Amino acid sequence: MALKLVLIGLVTGLFSAVFGVGGGIVLVPLLIIVVGLEGKPATGTSLAAIGITALAGTILYGGEGYVEVGHAALVGLPAAVGAVAGTAVQQRVSARALALAFSVLLVAIAVWLLV
Amino acid sequence: MSASTVVVAVLLGLAAGLLAGFFGVGGGILFVPTLLALGLSQLEAEATSLLAILPTVVAGTWRQHHYGNVRWRTGIVLGVASIAGAVVGVQIATALSEDLLRRLFAVLLLGVAAQLAWRSRHAAPYPSKQ
């Protein structure tokens, strides 16, 4: 299991740094399918791992001068408030409806980026 | 940066955090496009997104720990191993052209959207009931 975790960590870290995301998108399904965690522990454990991954990426990119601290605070601080609300909402709202709404939003952003 | 731009950025940040708490992700998938819209380059947006993820996941992890949903040993092993992956990832990202990186990011969004849509039809997406 330890080797599996290390391999998953390596893949997640690579993915995170290339795309500037936390890597939870690959990590949560892997924690469920490969590691065998249930849904909620998978999301909670993913968040803890992402903290270390994102810190590493921030330091590496920061060393090359790509990190804009003011912009990060502008979106990151409201997001911290949102994250607290999101974990509470996780107990109540239909995951299905939110997933569908989120996917529609992502398609719209992808179209904007591609054209 | 105009006042309306700031308001939109704050709202998108809030939305990214909601999704982060809900789906167990860092929110970067919304941070990067938001930062691009604010005028950062693709690499700056990605690097800055990683910093913006930190307060989000600290808050999210704190809440999930409260609910008893964090497997700390697993999370720390994953996180420490991910550092080596991140070192390689930064090298790859800085070697690619910003235009290609932006297109790859758009493809990632479509992939994630497809995954979410599929899950919403076939089973409950990641979180929800244990």
CA–CA min distance B112, chain A (Å): 7
* φ and ψ of A28, to 5 deg: -60, -50
The chain B residue lying nearest A25, using CA atoms, is B25
Look at the block and give the residue holding tokens 């932006």: B102
Is a pLDDT exceeding 70 seen at residue B82?
Answer: yes
Is a pLDDT exceeding 90 seen at residue B31?
Answer: yes
Pairs of CB atoms within 8 A across A/B: 435
- pLDDT for residue A53: 96
The chain A residue lying nearest B96, using CA atoms, is A18
Instruction: Compute the radius of gyration of chain B from its Cα atoms.
Output: 16
- How does A11-31 read in b/e, with b if 16+ C-beta sit within 10 Å? bbbbbbbbbbbbbbbbbbbbb
Instruction: Please tell me the distance from the alpha carbon of residue B112 to that of residue A79, in angstroms, as a whole number.
Output: 20
Residues A28, B70: C-beta atoms closer than 8 Å: no
The chain A residue lying nearest B115, using CA atoms, is A103
Is a pLDDT exceeding 50 seen at residue B129?
Answer: no
Asked if B83 contacts A53 with a C-beta cutoff of 8 angstroms, the reply is: yes
Is a pLDDT exceeding 80 seen at residue B1?
Answer: no
Query: Roughly what angle, to the nearest 10 degrees, separates helices B3-23 and B42-66?
Result: 50
Which stretches of chain A score pLDDT less than 70?
A: 91-95, 97-98, 101
- Confidence label for B130 from pLDDT (cuts 50, 70 and 90): very low
Mean pLDDT (chain B, rounded)? 87
Written as six digits, the tokens of A101 are 């709404």
Is a pLDDT exceeding 90 seen at residue B123?
Answer: no
CA dihedral A22, A81, A77, A101 (to 10 degrees): 50
- Report the half-sphere exposure of B102 (CA within 13 A, side-chain side): 19
**3-state secondary structure (DSSP) of residue A58:** helix
Instruction: Please tell me the distance from the alpha carbon of residue A5 to that of residue A48, in angstroms, as a whole number.
Output: 14
The whole-model pTM stands at 0.88
- Please report the ipTM that was assigned to this predicted complex: 0.87
